[in-house]
Amino acid sequence: MIDELLKYQEADGKLRAIEQEIASTDERKKYVVARKFLEKAPEKLDALGKAAYRLSDRYRIDIVAGKWRNLLK
């Protein structure tokens, strides 16, 4: 039983070392950055869409106000 536990701990230690080595690679770092970008992309896209809608609505109001000003002259 103790021998099996020691073998398990040895294997677990090797696995942990491999995981740490993988975590420190440039590819892993690039993956993490890309994943965070993709997770936040829908929120940012939604915010940009709302901002665009507000701007287009404001632009339409400015055009209508300008037309009314021209009619009143």
Query: In the chain, how many domains are there?
Result: 1
pLDDT, one tens digit for every residue, the chain (73 residues): 899 999 999 999 999 999 999 989 999 899 999 999 999 999 999 998 899 888 887 777 766 666 666 666 5
**pTM of the prediction?**
0.49
Q: What are the respective helix, strand and coil percentages of the chain, to the nearest 5?
A: 95, 0, 5
Q: What is the pLDDT of residue 57?
A: 77
What single-letter amino acid sits at 45? L
Structural domain that includes position 31: 2-72
Please report the DSSP string for 25-37 in residue order. Answer: SHHHHHHHHHHHH
